Amino acid sequence: MSRGPDNYLEAPPSPDDERMQISLLTGFLGSGKTTLLNALLKHPEMGETAVLVNEFGEIGIDHQLIEKIDEETILLNAGCLCCSVRGDLARALRELSVKRARGEIPRFTRVLIESTGLADPAPIIHTLISDPIVSERFTLDGIVTTVDAVLGEGQFDDHEESVKQVAVADRIVMTKCDLASDEGIKSLDARLAELNPAAPVTRALHGQIHPDQLFNAGLYDPATKSLDVQRWLRDEAYGENDHHHSHDVNRHDASIRAFCITYDEPLVWEAFVAWVRTLTAVYGAKLLRIKGIVNIQGQQNPIAIHGVQHMFHDPVELPAWPDDDRRSRMVFITNGLDPADLEKKLTNLQNAATGEIKQI
């Protein structure tokens, strides 16, 4: 079961994880999300995938290529299921899991959820973390966000939702590049790098992209049956600790900051937990995303952490350090927070825990 701040002191679980992986497909209105989904649904690599959409009619599935299972589920010729979600996402996932266990639908090993264009991704992520049945059977692999190469920058200026969709993304798909100028694409690339420097950006023409470029973005790599920290964390993409630049204050992403906090000495677990509780309680809405590996006193292996706003995934004890770097490394994407302030709070708590209270 997932841990919120109140039960975060429990021992980290084993990295062995047989839960089904979920990918979230998001993107602002008109950004090509449905075109991308249509192309994916025809791809043979989408076998053993269940796709949750708002309405079947929105994606225009060719009726000759499908087999209807029930009112809400159809089977595509690519071997994947497509399910219409009307209402509660948690209920839909629970029912999907039950039907799979009973053999009422073909076996699937991953789920792709398409959100609406105006959706803030955070509530969907919270559902995956906080619902006890859903979190027991499913785990978030990654968030895929589509961005319109022509209109994307204007949407960032006018719509805060589009900024959040990019800020929390693990993979970004730039669409309609054939309609955009080279200068426009270059400008958009730079802005995406400011908002989310660690998310790879792929360009797709008419939605054509291989599923491998979108899936397996999480800490666990199902292909190798192992944990891939460097691919997941990508802390080197954050460079000089702060990718914030001066922006027009009227832009919705003017206060978005992407940075990495490193800590040289092993952390006291209780102090670290107190820091996490403080961040989520005081700054929860401004913590768009946190990922990291931390070195804990008395613990031989590192602990992986992952949070979105007020909620944190289960901490995971890794089987070994990914390299010789034993520092704690935490990457943040925040809205209006100063990295120096966050680091100061952690240092004060660590000093207090070790009896080294001093002026910072």
* Each residue's pLDDT tens digit, 12-56: 444 455 788 999 999 998 899 989 998 898 888 888 999 998 766
Percentage of the chain lying above the pLDDT 90 cut: 42
pLDDT for the residue 27: 93
How is domain 5-226 classified at the architecture level of CATH? 3-Layer(aba) Sandwich (3.40)
Q: How many CB atoms lie within 10 A of CB 60?
A: 9
Answer yes or no: is pLDDT of 217 > 80: yes
In whole angstroms, how far apart are CA 86 and each of 74, 96, 108? Answer: 15, 13, 21
pLDDT for the residue 124: 82
> CATH 3.30.1220.10: does it fit domain 248-353?
yes
pLDDT for the residue 8: 40
Asked whether the beta carbons of 48 and 166 are under 8 A apart, the reply is no
Stretch 200-221: mean pLDDT = 86
Of residues 66 and 271, the one with the higher pLDDT is: 271
Answer yes or no: is pLDDT of 241 > 80: no
Answer yes or no: is pLDDT of 247 > 60: no
Stretch 155-164: mean pLDDT = 89
Highest mean pLDDT of the ranges 56-60, 126-130, 255-259? 255-259
State the pLDDT confidence band at 313, using cuts at 50, 70 and 90: confident
Percentage of the chain lying above the pLDDT 70 cut: 84
Of residues 260 and 85, the one with the higher pLDDT is: 260
pLDDT for the residue 127: 84
State the pLDDT confidence band at 60, using cuts at 50, 70 and 90: low
pLDDT for the residue 113: 92
Stretch 214-232: mean pLDDT = 77
pLDDT digits (tens, 9 = 90+) for 282-307: 998 899 889 999 999 999 999 999 88
Q: Closest Cα to residue 78, out of 40, 110, 112, 113? A: 40
Domains 5-226 and 248-353 alike in fold: no
pLDDT for the residue 65: 54
pLDDT digits (tens, 9 = 90+) for 117-157: 667 788 888 888 888 899 889 988 999 999 999 999 999 98
pLDDT for the residue 59: 66
Answer yes or no: is pLDDT of 158 > 70: yes
> What is the SS3 string spanning the chain?
CCCCHHHCCCCCCCCCCCCEEEEEEEECCCCCHHHHHHHHHCCHHHCCEEEEECCHHHHCCCHHHEEEEECCEEEECCCCEEEECCCCHHHHHHHHHHHHHHCCCCCCCEEEEECCCCCCHHHHHHHHHHCHHHHHHEEEEEEEEEEECCCHHHHHHHCHHHHHHHHCCCEEEEECHHHCCHHHHHHHHHHHHHHCCCCCEEEEECCECCHHHCCCCCCEECCCCEECHHHHHCHHHHCCCCCCCCCCCCCCCCCEEEEEEEECCCECHHHHHHHHHHHHHHHHHHEEEEEEEECECCCCCCEEEEEECCEECCCEECCCCCCCCCCEEEEEEEECCCHHHHHHHHHHHHHHHCCCCCCC
Q: Where are the domains of the chain?
A: 5-226, 248-353
CA 108 to the chain's CA centroid? 21
Sheet holding 81-84, edge to edge: 66-70, 73-76, 81-84, 49-53, 110-114, 20-27, 138-148, 171-175, 201-204
pLDDT for the residue 3: 37
Global pTM reads 0.85
Answer yes or no: is pLDDT of 220 > 80: no
pLDDT for the residue 66: 65
Of 47-56, 95-104, 153-162, give the lowest mean pLDDT range.
47-56
Q: Closest Cα to residue 27, out of 216, 286, 204, 258? A: 204
Highest mean pLDDT of the ranges 76-80, 135-139, 182-186? 182-186
Answer yes or no: is pLDDT of 166 > 90: yes
pLDDT mean across residues, the chain: 83
Answer yes or no: is pLDDT of 58 > 80: no
